[in-house]
Amino acid sequence: MSTSAEMLQPLPGVIEPRWWSGSPALPPESFTIDCSGYAMDAGDLGKDGELAQRMNALFDEVGLVYLTNTRLSDLGTMREFAKLVVEHEMRYKGGANPRDSLAKSVYEVGAPLQAWLHYHHEMAYISRSTTMLGFLCSKALPDRGYTFVSDNLPATDAILETEFGQKLKELGICYHRNLTDREAFRGTDQIGVYNHWQKSMLTEDPDEAVKIAKSRGLEVEWGPDRLLKTRYYVSAFEYFPQLERNVLYSSVADDGMWFDAWPKVMHLPYDERPLKLTFGDDTEMTREEKQLFVDIYDRFGIPIQWNVGDIAIVCNYRFAHGRPGIHLDADEERELGVLIGESYERVGDLPGKW
């Protein structure tokens, strides 16, 4: 039986992300809007207003918009400003992380603060993904707790220059995901639990859960104790219509490595963890290949240094996102709200669009 101390110690040989090179891959001024000159009230919420036009022009050009000095603190109000770009929000259904709502259509991150979150593209592991995300900072730390985004265009070019990238292009990938049954863990310490299928699929009905999973392009089977086992075979890349090119759309975040710093799960051997990533022919990735996957994203990282009221809108094609683990002192808080933008059906890569 594992002790509590053992469940907080990463396994030997863990690959920890570096997040960036020490210099941002894009200059902050290229994606930042200083809102100190705006009233940040209803008068600035018009779709044809100056702020909305600046935000949308920047998003179209860069794929990243960061509002600072907003003087806002309420998540609901921040959401209204984020919606100047994120016009259509999707309900988080079929997702992996156990997200709760913080406000209307605003979700929590859905991961323990102390766990680092590898760079990833949101909901790449199901057929219905999202075009963009919004992040709203309601509680911040003075010197840490940053989110990082990775510029995916040069990352795509860099990985395709490697033998591993060409292997990803040829074989595609498979996302293996095991979702536990809430009833099987009722009254326990939830040791080894990532997410229950009831919370992921937003239903208590196992038949409905299967129906929802299949509607997301997943192959499904039941394991012991009503463990919902899903598989999704797809390209490691995704066609990005705006730039008419295929971009990298996968990462080690969907492997057992996701849990290397995750309390109550990190103690499990890799073959018992809830997530696994393989090539599309079901062959394993080597440790060296996974290290390269991590290094490529780290090379193009950019820190978002949160203050209360900051808002970031991130294109899910053009940027991956993640963060280091965060440890709070007794009097500290850190909270981000998440908006999930318009959904779309994945097409994978298209021929001739490399």
Tally of helices (H runs) and strands (E runs) in the chain: 7, 19
> Distance (Å, rounded) from C-alpha 121 to C-alpha 118?
10
Q: 255: which 2 tokens?
A: 């492997």
Q: 123: which 2 tokens?
A: 């909901």
Phi-psi domain of 162 (left: phi exceeds 0; alpha: psi -120 through 50; beta: other): beta
Confidence at residue 193, expressed as pLDDT on a 0 to 100 scale? 78
Pair 72, 81: CB distance under 8 Å: yes
Q: 160: which 2 tokens?
A: 């395709």
Confidence at residue 76, expressed as pLDDT on a 0 to 100 scale? 92
Confidence at residue 91, expressed as pLDDT on a 0 to 100 scale? 58
Confidence at residue 13, expressed as pLDDT on a 0 to 100 scale? 78
Confidence at residue 264, expressed as pLDDT on a 0 to 100 scale? 84
> Distance (Å, rounded) from C-alpha 105 to C-alpha 196?
21
CB 107: neighbour CB atoms within 10 A?
Answer: 19
* Domain boundaries of the chain, sorted by first residue: 25-344
**b/e 4-38 (16+ beta carbons within 10 angstroms → b):** eeebeeeeeeeeebebbeeebbbeeeebbbebeeb
Beta partners for 231? 176, 219
Q: 125: which 2 tokens?
A: 């592991």
Q: Could you confirm whether domain 25-344 is CATH 3.60.130.10?
A: yes
Return the SS3 of 344. Answer: strand
Q: 153: which 2 tokens?
A: 């265009």
Per-residue pLDDT of the chain (354 residues; tens, 9 = 90+): 343 444 445 455 799 999 999 999 999 999 999 999 999 999 999 999 999 999 999 999 999 999 999 999 999 999 999 999 998 875 544 444 444 555 565 766 667 889 999 999 999 998 999 999 999 999 999 899 999 999 999 999 999 999 999 999 999 999 999 988 999 888 887 777 788 888 888 899 999 999 998 988 889 999 999 999 999 999 999 999 999 999 999 999 999 999 999 888 888 888 889 999 999 999 999 999 999 999 999 999 999 999 999 999 999 999 999 999 999 999 999 999 999 899 999 999 999 999
DSSP 328: -
Give the residue from 176, 175, 178, 174 showing the smallest Cα distance to 274.
178
Phi-psi domain of 13 (left: phi exceeds 0; alpha: psi -120 through 50; beta: other): left
Residues sharing a CB contact under 8 Å with residue 305, sequence separation 6 or more, in sequence order:
146
- Euclidean distance between the first and the last CA atom of the chain, given in angstroms as a whole number: 50
Confidence at residue 108, expressed as pLDDT on a 0 to 100 scale? 66
Q: 253: which 2 tokens?
A: 């975040």
> Distance (Å, rounded) from C-alpha 92 to C-alpha 97?
9
Amino acid at site 146 = Y
> Distance (Å, rounded) from C-alpha 338 to C-alpha 262?
20
pTM of this prediction?
0.89
Measured in residues, the chain has a length of 354
